[in-house]
Amino acid sequence: MGPRLSVRAVFYNQDHILLCKHYDERGFWYITPGGGVEYGETLVDAFHRELMEEVGLQAHMGDVLCIRDLISNRYPTPYLPEHFHQLEIFVEGKSPIFVGKPSNLDPAQIGYEWVPLDELDNILFFPTELVAVFKKRNFSTIYQGHKL
């Protein structure tokens, strides 16, 4: 089986970033909104569906900010399935409009919030290896590869 394709939305509002908030035995943890592209869906379709499911948000999809590989065999963790490979495409989110409640939260997701950028070092944020990129909004390297 090949890599799973995922689209993830990056929204900034002044010095904050919009993140989905999760809770499990690790405590609170955060990721950008988004998820897997389903068969027959375009990236834009998946972008819109995932935002409605996780945030209750409509927005415009902007440019690709960066791409990264997530390969569980190279980054062993009990939170990812064995032999899991996901290609994540992070895209700019523009003109967000909150239109209702999220329609289909991910497992362990308890909501979403605007997190101050200077707090990214102090929370459990995934991908942890890209905290500096997100804080500085420095997406000069499009392909981030797979980092430990």
What local confidence, expressed as pLDDT, does residue 148 receive? Answer: 52
The CATH class that applies to domain 4-143 reads: alpha beta
Question: pLDDT per residue over 109-132, tens digit each?
Answer: 999 999 999 999 999 999 999 999
Give CA–CA dist 67/5, Å, rounded: 11
Q: Which residues, at least 6 apart from 141, have a Cβ–Cβ distance to it below 8 Å?
A: 66
Query: Domain ranges in the chain?
Result: 4-143
pLDDT tens, position by position, 47-84: 999 999 999 999 999 999 999 999 888 876 778 878 88
Q: How far is CA 46 from the centre of its chain?
A: 13
Nearest in space to 70 (alpha carbons), one of 130, 133, 122: 130
Start-to-end CA distance of the chain, whole Å, equals 23
CA distance 85 to 100: 32
Amino acid 82: pLDDT: 84
Average pLDDT, the chain: 94
Pick the closest to residue 49 from 39, 36, 62 (CA basis). Answer: 36
Burial grade of 51 (CB within 10 A; 0-12, 13-18, 19 or more): buried
User: For the chain, where are the alpha helices, taking DSSP H only?
Assistant: 43-54, 131-136
Kindly tell me if the per-residue pLDDT of 1 is higher than 80. Answer: no
- Give the count of beta carbons closer than 10 Å to the beta carbon of residue 24: 11
Cis peptide before 107, with omega less than 30 degrees from 0? no
Looking at the chain, the whole-number percentage of residues with pLDDT higher than 90 is 84
